[in-house]
Amino acid sequence: MSAALARIPRPVAALLLALAIHLIGMALIRGFGTMFGIRAMLVLATLLAIAAIGQTLVIIIGGIDLSIPFVIGFANVTAAQLYGDGVPFAVVLPLVLAVAMAIGAFNGMVSASLAIHPLIVTLGTGTALQGAVQLWTAGFPTGAAPSYVTSFVSIGGSIGPIPVPWLIPAFLVLAAVVILALGRTVYGRRLYALGSNPRAARLALVDPVRTWTITFALSAGFAALTGVLLLGFSGAAYARVGEPYLFQTIAAVVIGGTTLIGGRGGYLGTIAGALCLIELTTVLVGLGLRPPLVQATLGVTIVALVAIYGREAHVRELI
Amino acid sequence: MTDGQAILAAQGIRLAPGASPIDFAIRPGEIVGLAGLEGHGQDMFIQALCGLHRPEAGEIRLQGKDGHTVQVTEFAKAAAQGLAYLPRDRRTTGVLGGLSVFDNFAIAALPDHQRFGIVDRPRLREKLAHFTRELGMVYRSPHASIGTLSGGNQQKVLLARWLAREPRVMLMNDPTRGVDLGTRMKLYEVFRRLAADQGIPLVILSSEIEEILQLCHRVLVFREARLFAELDRDAMTMDRVIAAMFGQEAA
Amino acid sequence: MSRWLAGRAYLRLAAGLFVVLLAVNIALNPVRFAPTSLGVTIGLASGLVLAAIASMPPILAGRGGIDISVGPLMGLVNVVVVRWLVEGLGIESPFLIVPLVLLLGLLSGALNGLLATVLRIQPIVATLGTSLFYAGITLTIVPSPAGTVPGWIKALAGPTSILPLAAVALLWLLIKRLPFYEQLLCVGSDDRAAYTAGIPVTLVRFLAYVLAGLIAAVGGLCLTGLIGSADPNIAGTYTLLAISAVALGGVSLAGGRGGLVAAVLGAADIFLLQTALTFFNVSTFVLQIVYGTVLTVAVVLNADRLRQLLRGRRHT
């Protein structure tokens, strides 16, 4: 059974899984398959998938980014505060993205040039960043997103007769760009080379510091984008809004078949992984489980899924 | 032959504090062997030549692509000027495990085969097909994982990775290690052709003296981090090379 | 002493920081750091110290080994002891509670070990899974802070606070005398070579997780003494604090290098930093900024590569 499963491409397996969960939900929960429910899940999965773009890139390169939730919170609060203070949104968005990317670039550069585990560096800068944001707003951020950002991500939004907000088609374009960038650009191929074998990649003229710097900057950039979109989604700013995304981005990437050893996987899998997670959470909540139990069940499910198809090689196979 | 013709030249290289300096130059079409007992400096020397190891003293000059002479201080910069280096341990420093034959082949040549950051795959595929014929590589498909290839074929892919950059000089660190006899003969033939037909000078570090005797025009034998003997074709015999490796003056 | 330190250059920064921070703390707050209140002070720190020690073995074992579930396990121990053992079953005797806590730690460690080494799920993912599981269970058992604890558990955060630490230190010294410790370091620095040399790599790694679970459970008990009740929200933060402490102690997350002293010093640094800052009554936000900055700066200063770069050496 697990051997047969192992032969299905990971993104396909994850997508089938999402579908299966959906069908189970429809069978067990009244009103699960309604249009509104599906739209809500699509929007939530899309937000997660955007936050997980960076985690995917970073994990392919052989790293991990723990600063994503903190950067989401930073962007969420900063955008609200600045826009609330009257700064035009056309200035706010680039500013927030630029600051986030600078922090990400620092993470990548320090990790790669000094050979420090990115887990520690991103944790350190992320914690400091969150503290700074909270200090600035005294823990009570004010402000909101412009109304067009809100309608851009609104679950009830629609594009003419199509009942989805603009977020969905925009994301499809973004996803296509990410997938093409990974597969067809010099940057993308170098990412896989570094993740597969950093020493060999360096000797094949891939500059690790440069690639890590760019990749962590992108990761922080997409996290910041998620933070701004979440501001539109929830209406009010909250410095800890990103917290669930720490575990969820990693889980979406791993369920999608990108392994933490680096060099393998892709963004299509992450999208499928994000769908899986949101479907599963929605079904569990729909079944009446309280949030802590939903969390516990998710933990078990992730381990079970990875045990089926994401196992590492035995040390004897590495010799 | 004057020094001006040298494509790669080293002057006053000291591999260890107090070791006597080494001068070295290689000209178009030459094949130079590096020999020595494991850990006696030949490995440091070849890495110094390509800018991966900074010697205690001395400088290395490379005749760059545009005819100017550049100092070799950093591997990436030297490589940009036409230097190629095939590392020693295929598994840890050569092969990109889990990636395809095509990816393993293309990685170093990407900068010259792209437009606006997008990889020029048709041209790279053509090149891979060309080198597949030239080197007699055997693999199922360009998309096959590099791990499915034999050691010899993996080595050919790594060689093709550098040939695709059209190098001006090639440094190879034990290029036939762990490679079967048939592939080895094929590689010798390729090396000779590179030197004779294209005039690419080759520096070959080898742990097999027989290989050096067969291929090289001269050999540098290292002993205790210094150049112990330099033997040219006429003086190169198994006995003499071995004697030099063990620190005995040639009889 | 200086010879011992010379072989452990990675400890210098943490040790230096420890001396400075201790001096600052003593100057700021001589009462808290007076010998008579040492018990209470150690009690405040012991949870973090034990969490850091618990994080050590899986990291030492290398190849991405890490136990993220240390904090959540401590939380689980906390609510299980208060809600189930003390309140539910009416057990108050240390001779029953301590073995049961240790058993819970062993089982949890064995579960992580099973997932990470036998099933070979990447350690971050495996222990992330168990983390979520424990955190969820903990919140289900006790949704909000409640309950009381027997006097002897409270004393673990006071007069007898040195006991659990001493017990774990003794355990560590014992383990250092076993061939297991050498094998652990071997596996951590080069698992392929260790495997070829006949070391049971999987078993060694498995035991590293078991050890982590065991020590984390002791930490959970100490934390219970400190809180004096069941609180589902406190222990979760201990994972990241523990990993930070280990990194501050100069331990490489790549494995093969580290030890008890590194973990203890790193944790003590974080604790002293916290107490010094709280003395000034700064907000938790400032604490967060300082703590994140110190962590980043410390790992940068401690990086081997930095020393090489400063010396101008390069390597392949």
Q: State the Cα–Cα distance between residues C20 and C7, nearest whole angstrom.
A: 22
Residue that the structure tokens 């440094």 belong to: B171
Domain that residue B37 falls in = 1-82+167-251
pLDDT band per the 50, 70, 90 thresholds, residue B37: very high
Residue B161 makes CB contacts below 8 A (sequence gap 6+) with: A204, B104, B105, B106, B107, B108, B109
Q: State the Cα–Cα distance between residues C159 and C147, nearest whole angstrom.
A: 22
CA distances from B47 to B28, B174, B225, B231 (A): 20, 12, 13, 21
Q: Could C314 and B93 be called an inter-chain contact, meaning their C-beta atoms sit closer than 8 Å?
A: no
Instruction: Name beta bridge partners: B10.
Output: B24, B60
Residue B134 forms part of a structural domain: yes
- Report whether pLDDT(A312) > 80: no
Average pLDDT on A176-198 reads 97
Q: Which of residues 216-275 of C touch A (CB under 8 A)?
A: 240, 243-244, 247, 252-254
Average pLDDT on C186-208 reads 93
pLDDT band per the 50, 70, 90 thresholds, residue A6: low
Measure the CA angle with vertex A251, ends A248 and A255; round to 5°. 140
Average pLDDT on B27-44 reads 95
Q: β-strand B169-173 against B202-205: which pairing, if any? A: parallel
C82-132: pLDDT as tens digits: 999 999 999 999 999 999 999 999 999 999 999 999 999 989 989 999 999
Average pLDDT on C217-226 reads 96
The per-residue pLDDT for B2 is 40
- Report whether pLDDT(B188) > 50: yes
Q: State the Cα–Cα distance between residues B158 and B176, nearest whole angstrom.
A: 12
Q: Between residues B174 and A1, which one has the greater pLDDT?
A: B174
Residue C194 makes CB contacts below 8 A (sequence gap 6+) with: C183, C186, C187, C201, C204
> Looking at chain A, which residue has its C-alpha nearest residue C247?
A120
- CB of A153 closer than 8 Å to CB of A47: yes
Query: Does C316 contact chain B (CB < 8 Å)?
Result: yes
A108-155: pLDDT as tens digits: 999 999 999 999 999 999 999 999 999 999 888 899 999 999 999 998
- Report whether pLDDT(A76) > 60: yes
- Report whether pLDDT(A264) > 90: no
CA terminus-to-terminus distance, chain C:
34
Query: Does B47 contact chain C (CB < 8 Å)?
Result: yes
- Report whether pLDDT(C316) > 80: no
Give the closest-approach CA distance of C313 to chain B in angstroms. Answer: 7
Residues B78 and B3 placed together within one structural domain of the fold? yes
Mutation pick from C59, C66, C68, C122 vs chain A, by most beta carbons of A within 10 Å, is C122
Q: Could A189 and B92 be called an inter-chain contact, meaning their C-beta atoms sit closer than 8 Å?
A: no
Query: Does A205 contact chain B (CB < 8 Å)?
Result: yes
DSSP helix/strand/coil, C255:
coil
Instruction: Name beta bridge partners: B84.
Output: B170
- CB of C210 closer than 8 Å to CB of C113: yes
- Report whether pLDDT(A318) > 80: no
Which chain B positions have a beta carbon within 8 Å of A186's beta carbon? 110-111, 114, 117-119
- Identify the H or E element spanning C38: helix C38-60
Which chain A positions have a beta carbon within 8 Å of B164's beta carbon? none
Q: State the Cα–Cα distance between residues C167 and B159, nearest whole angstrom.
A: 58
Query: Does B73 contact chain C (CB < 8 Å)?
Result: no
Which chain C positions have a beta carbon within 8 Å of B93's beta carbon? 316
What is the rounded (10 degree) CA torsion for C313, B3, B228, B223? 30
Mutation pick from B92, B107, B118 vs chain A, by most beta carbons of A within 10 Å, is B107
Tell me which residue in C133, C289, C316 faces A299 most closely, judged by beta carbons. Answer: C133
Q: State the Cα–Cα distance between residues A200 and A211, nearest whole angstrom.
A: 15
> Looking at chain A, which residue has its C-alpha nearest residue C112?
A303
- Report whether pLDDT(C312) > 70: no
- CB of C156 closer than 8 Å to CB of C222: yes
Q: What mean pLDDT is reported for chain A?
A: 92
Q: Could A264 and B96 be called an inter-chain contact, meaning their C-beta atoms sit closer than 8 Å?
A: no
What is the rounded (10 degree) CA torsion for A260, A265, A266, A267? -50
Q: State the Cα–Cα distance between residues A71 and A143, nearest whole angstrom.
A: 18
SS3 letters across chain A: CHHHHHHCCHHHHHHHHHHHHHHHHHHHCCCCCCHHHHHHHHHHHHHHHHHHHHHHHHHHCCCCCCCHHHHHHHHHHHHHHHHHCCCCHHHHHHHHHHHHHHHHHHHHHHHHHHCCCHHHHHHHHHHHHHHHHHHHHCCCCCCCCCHHHHHHHCCCCCECCECCCCHHHHHHHHHHHHHHHHHHEHHHHHHHHHHHCHHHHHHCCCCHHHHHHHHHHHHHHHHHHHHHHHHHHHCCCCCCCCCHHHHHHHHHHHHCCCCCCCCCCCHHHHHHHHHHHHHHHHHHHHCCCCHHHHHHHHHHHHHHHHHHHCCCCCHHHHC
Q: How many CB atoms lie within 10 A of CB B8?
A: 26
The per-residue pLDDT for B241 is 94
Residues B75 and B192 placed together within one structural domain of the fold? yes
Give the closest-approach CA distance of B202 to chain C in angstroms. Answer: 21
Q: Could C316 and B54 be called an inter-chain contact, meaning their C-beta atoms sit closer than 8 Å?
A: no
The per-residue pLDDT for C5 is 64
DSSP helix/strand/coil, B226:
strand
On the 0-12 / 13-18 / 19+ scale of CB atoms within 10 A, B139 is buried
Tell me which residue in A292, A311, A316 faces C139 most closely, judged by beta carbons. Answer: A292
Q: State the Cα–Cα distance between residues B135 and B189, nearest whole angstrom.
A: 9
**Residue C93 tokens, joined:** 């005797």
As for how many domains chain B has, the answer is: 2
C26-53: pLDDT as tens digits: 999 888 888 888 899 999 999 999 999 9
CATH value at residue B41: 3.40.50.300
Cite the beta strand spans of C42-130 per DSSP E.
Answer: none
Q: Is the ipTM of this complex over 0.95?
A: no
- Report whether pLDDT(C297) > 70: yes
Chain centroid to Cα C4, Å, comes to: 23
What is the length of chain A? 319
- CB of A24 closer than 8 Å to CB of A276: no
Task: Report which of C71, C64, C60 is spatially closest to residue C208, judged by C-alpha positions.
Answer: C60
pLDDT band per the 50, 70, 90 thresholds, residue C3: low
Amino acid at A259: T
The per-residue pLDDT for A257 is 87
Domain ranges of chain A: 47-268
Looking at residue C230, what DSSP letter applies?
B
Q: Crossing angle of helices C238-248/C260-279, nearest 10°?
A: 110
Residues B130 and B149 placed together within one structural domain of the fold? yes
Average pLDDT on C11-26 reads 91
Q: What mean pLDDT is reported for chain B?
A: 93
Mutation pick from B52, B83, B99 vs chain A, by most beta carbons of A within 10 Å, is B99
A204-250: pLDDT as tens digits: 999 999 999 999 999 999 999 999 999 999 989 999 999 999 989 99
Average pLDDT on C155-159 reads 91
Looking at residue C229, what DSSP letter applies?
S
DSSP string of B75-122, one letter each residue: HHHHHHTTEEEE-S-IIIII--TTSBHHHHHHGGGGGGSEETTEE-HH
- Report whether pLDDT(C22) > 50: yes
- Report whether pLDDT(A1) > 90: no
pLDDT band per the 50, 70, 90 thresholds, residue C13: confident
- Report whether pLDDT(A4) > 70: no
Chain centroid to Cα C197, Å, comes to: 31
Task: Report which of B28, B26, B85 is spatially closest to residue B230, judged by C-alpha positions.
Answer: B26
**Residue A27 tokens, joined:** 């069978």
The per-residue pLDDT for A290 is 93
**Residue C260 tokens, joined:** 């008890």
**Residue C299 tokens, joined:** 């790992």
Task: Report which of A207, A317, A182 is spatially closest to residue A258, judged by C-alpha positions.
Answer: A182
Strand ordering across the sheet containing B22-26: B22-26, B8-14, B57-63, B69-71
Total H helices, total E strands in chain B: 8, 12
Residues B245 and B180 placed together within one structural domain of the fold? yes
Residue that the structure tokens 């429910």 belong to: A37
Contact partners for chain B, using 3 or more CB pairs closer than 8 A, are: A, C
Measure the CA angle with vertex A194, ends A191 and A195; round to 5°. 85
Query: Does A110 contact chain C (CB < 8 Å)?
Result: yes
Residues B148 and B221 placed together within one structural domain of the fold? no
Q: Report the percentage of chain A scoring pLDDT > 90.
A: 76
- CB of A65 closer than 8 Å to CB of A54: yes
- Report whether pLDDT(B4) > 80: no
- Which long-range contacts does A134-140 make (Cβ < 8 Å, 24+ apart)? A134/A239, A134/C285, A134/C288, A135/C283, A135/C285, A135/C286, A135/C289, A136/A81, A137/A77, A137/A81, A137/A237, A137/A239, A139/A239, A139/C283, A139/C285
B84-139: pLDDT as tens digits: 999 999 989 999 998 999 999 999 999 999 999 999 999 999 999 999 999 999 99
Query: Does A113 contact chain B (CB < 8 Å)?
Result: no
The per-residue pLDDT for B161 is 97
Residues B115 and B214 placed together within one structural domain of the fold? no
Q: Report the percentage of chain A scoring pLDDT > 70.
A: 97
Q: Which of residues 144-183 of C touch A (CB under 8 A)?
A: none
| B:C CB pairs within 8 Å | 10
> In terms of DSSP H, where are the helices of chain B?
42-49, 75-80, 101-106, 121-135, 151-163, 181-198, 209-215, 238-245
Q: State the Cα–Cα distance between residues C169 and C175, nearest whole angstrom.
A: 10
Residue B31 forms part of a structural domain: yes
- Report whether pLDDT(C2) > 70: no
Burial code (b: 16+ CB inside 10 Å, e: under 16) for A134-162 equals: bbebeeebebbbbeebbebbbbebeeeee
Residues B135 and B180 placed together within one structural domain of the fold? no
Residue B93 forms part of a structural domain: no
> Looking at chain C, which residue has its C-alpha nearest residue A67?
C292
Residues B175 and B155 placed together within one structural domain of the fold? no
Query: Does B148 contact chain C (CB < 8 Å)?
Result: no
Looking at residue C146, what DSSP letter applies?
B
Q: State the Cα–Cα distance between residues C171 and C174, nearest whole angstrom.
A: 5
Instruction: Name beta bridge partners: B118.
Output: A185, B115
Give the closest-approach CA distance of A177 to chain C in angstroms. Answer: 28
Give the closest-approach CA distance of C308 to chain A in angstroms. Answer: 9
Query: Does C311 contact chain B (CB < 8 Å)?
Result: no
**Residue C249 tokens, joined:** 């102690």
- Report whether pLDDT(A3) > 70: no
